[in-house]
Chains A and B, each alone.
Chain A
């Protein structure tokens, strides 16, 4: 089965539409959303409604730190700009949408895959996987052979050998990578709604669980429109300008 994995959507309607269209065109049969549906972007309502519709037809959805912040208490460690965005986002969502975000689980599993927003070592702490050390900690915390997570916006693929050696890899888009059954894998597809690796194209991944092959995808989208809407909504201009740069 071909599973499309999308994470860090960040209220970016243009990017999400482009990724979903691409996944459909590639023949995705199942969907997993790894959290942070909202925050930063100007279309939280549309994005949450869209993900809710996918969830109703069987998609897996887990909670991200922005989803938690919008649907519950704003955590103190959030920076002031992000906090302003959270408050704006909350004002844009209706009760049903906020309920959906509030009831999202921290993790979801399917066969030998684990879906989680941040490190599996302690999902509620929202720790970032920025290198091999954090990746190993997360891989050791689960029995699943493959972990898919987000939170970090740059695409990355880590593997852990049976002898305990870990390796990091920066994937090239649109090339199927076989995931050897002999080792553990941790895949970060990269952000749909706010890519930060210097390439503005939206990220997602396709996993073929029959062939054990993972393909990282990059999808160009109309980031100018997404940026204009952010400005028009009165959100911090930096949220808009970074979309064109992918920073």
Chain B
């Protein structure tokens, strides 16, 4: 059978909502391209409105998405003929296939979590909330990146939310649905973090965090009743991972991670996770706490100004790249001022203080200095000293000593792999030697994918006058890339 230039080759799957077919283009144009799949909704005899509207939503949202974490959209057919979506077929099985083997090793759970969180951040950056994160909607490319599928419940900041008005029941999958989804709130990207928390909980304990309720009353229990701490079910779960999972499962979205990038950051840097009472919990909250949450759960309403894009813009990950070398104290003070200004304007901002321990490309590295002190530890101490005056809460700041032969490349790599939004870096003047050799900051500006602020110390005024510079150099100078 051929539909709009696609030949249906093989039925891949028949689910409750849709049938999936492997298809090829009849014009043969894509013989070398990725395999394609056609999704045809099962609308049933009574034209189930959820199936129809979900498919409409998917047809609206998918063409707007791009990147490695979503199946590449190819074409769609509308309801006047045969409704379908043709998209890239992602090879392999979904995460559902790993669920029966739970509990999995915690390192694997963390790795899965970090990759799914990175995919979620990419989705949220495109102003889309998924609203149905669950094992069967998570796949992985051969290269390891997570791919999120099924956008039938998604909400796009800039498109009409067809589901919100159509249905007055909670939409999602019961074991993973966030408390706010139960309350029909659909504009908070942190709902997806809750769902991911429930997925990770199951993977490391083998149990569902909140059961699988079939009634609205059962679903509403998660507004006040918390999950059994994972360590009570599986003592192999390290405290840091319990901290991360329980933070995702917080009833109040404001107590969860601000963004998926910040969650991925913690899953990738376990030693940097700030442990709170969540990490130490061995049993569920007492009745007094539960009763308090129950009272609060009555009458929560959506904030109309909330959105995926809005949440991300107020919760950036900022890197301060600090040079701890002697003689750069004045510059490092200016760098701190610039970092403070950036972090203060965004309530959910997180600051990563980074320095680079330069290693030799060929020669053997010296790990202790002349006084016999461990260089790495000394640099860490230096970073913490630099940040002391910022007085940021422990969960908003982290410290990293990168070891690399090329400091600029190390900073750029670090920013890329941690979804950093903004780098603040100092530049030490512009001597002719520096111009000749190239500076770290200019290399970072040229190569980074995110905004970079370069901080410079003022030129001595006498010199400025002599060279005819126009007034004092403005500080800090910002270059937005």
Q: A residues touching B (Cβ–Cβ < 8 Å)?
A: 157, 159, 161-163, 165-167, 169, 171-172, 175, 177-178, 180-183
CA A166 to CA B49, docked complex, whole Å: 14
Q: Which residues of B pack against A, CB within 8 Å?
A: 49, 52-53, 56, 59-60, 63, 78-80, 157-162, 164-166
B166-A163 in contact (CB<8A): yes
Across the interface, do A161 and B53 meet the contact criterion of CB distance under 8 Å? yes
How distant is the Cα of A70 from the Cα of B139 in the complex, in angstroms? Answer: 64
- Which of A163, A166, A178 interacts with B63 by CB under 8 Å? A178
Q: Is the CB of A165 within 8 A of B160?
A: no
Number of A-B contacts (CB under 8 A): 50
Q: Is the CB of B49 within 8 A of A159?
A: no
- A161-B166, A163-B49, A163-B166 known; A178 and B60 CB under 8 Å? yes
Contact B160 A177 (CB under 8 A): yes
- In the bound complex, how far is the Cα of B53 from the Cα of A201, in angstroms? 34
The residues of B that contact A183 with a CB separation of less than 8 Å are: 56, 162
CA distance A166 to B166 in the complex (A): 8
Contacts of B59 on A, CB cut-off 8 Å?
178, 180
Q: In the bound complex, do residue B56 and residue A167 qualify as a contact, i.e. CB atoms below 8 Å apart? A: no
Known pairs A165-B166, A181-B80; A172 contacts B158 (CB<8 A): yes
Is the CB–CB distance between B162 and A159 below 8 Å?
yes
Task: For the complex formed, measure the closest distance between the CB of B402 and the CB atoms of chain A, giving whole angstroms.
Answer: 39
> A67–B159 Cα gap in the complex (Å)?
34
Report how far A181 CA is from B165 CA in the complex, Å. 18
In Å, the complex CA distance between A182 and B52 comes to: 9
Least Cβ–Cβ distance between A4 and chain B, in angstroms: 20
| Known interface pairs A167-B165, A180-B60; A159-B78 also in contact (CB < 8 Å) | no
Q: Name B76's closest neighbour in chain A (CB-CB).
A: A178
A167 touches B164 (CB 8 A): yes
**Within 8 Å CB of A159, what residues of B?**
160, 162
Q: Which residues of B contact A166 (CB under 8 A)?
A: 165
15 A-B pairs, CB-CB below 8 angstroms? A157-B160, A161-B162, A163-B49, A163-B166, A165-B165, A175-B159, A178-B59, A178-B63, A180-B78, A180-B79, A180-B162, A181-B78, A181-B79, A181-B80, A182-B78
- The 3 tightest CB contacts between A and B, nearest first, are A167-B165, A169-B160, A182-B79
Among B56, B161, B165, contact of A182 (Cβ-Cβ < 8 Å): B56
* Chain A residues, Cβ within 8 Å of B159: 169, 175, 177-178
In the bound complex, CA of A178 to CA of B59 (Å): 9
Q: How far is the CA of A171 from the CA of B56 in the complex (A)?
A: 18
Shortest Cβ distance from residue B219 to the other chain A in the assembled complex, whole angstroms: 22
Contact A180 B49 (CB under 8 A): no
Q: Shortest beta-carbon distance, B423 to chain A, in Å? A: 29
List 19 additional A-B contacts (Cβ < 8 Å) besides A178-B59, A180-B78.
Answer: A157-B160, A159-B160, A161-B162, A161-B165, A161-B166, A163-B166, A165-B165, A165-B166, A167-B162, A172-B157, A175-B158, A177-B159, A178-B63, A180-B60, A180-B162, A181-B80, A182-B56, A182-B78, A182-B79
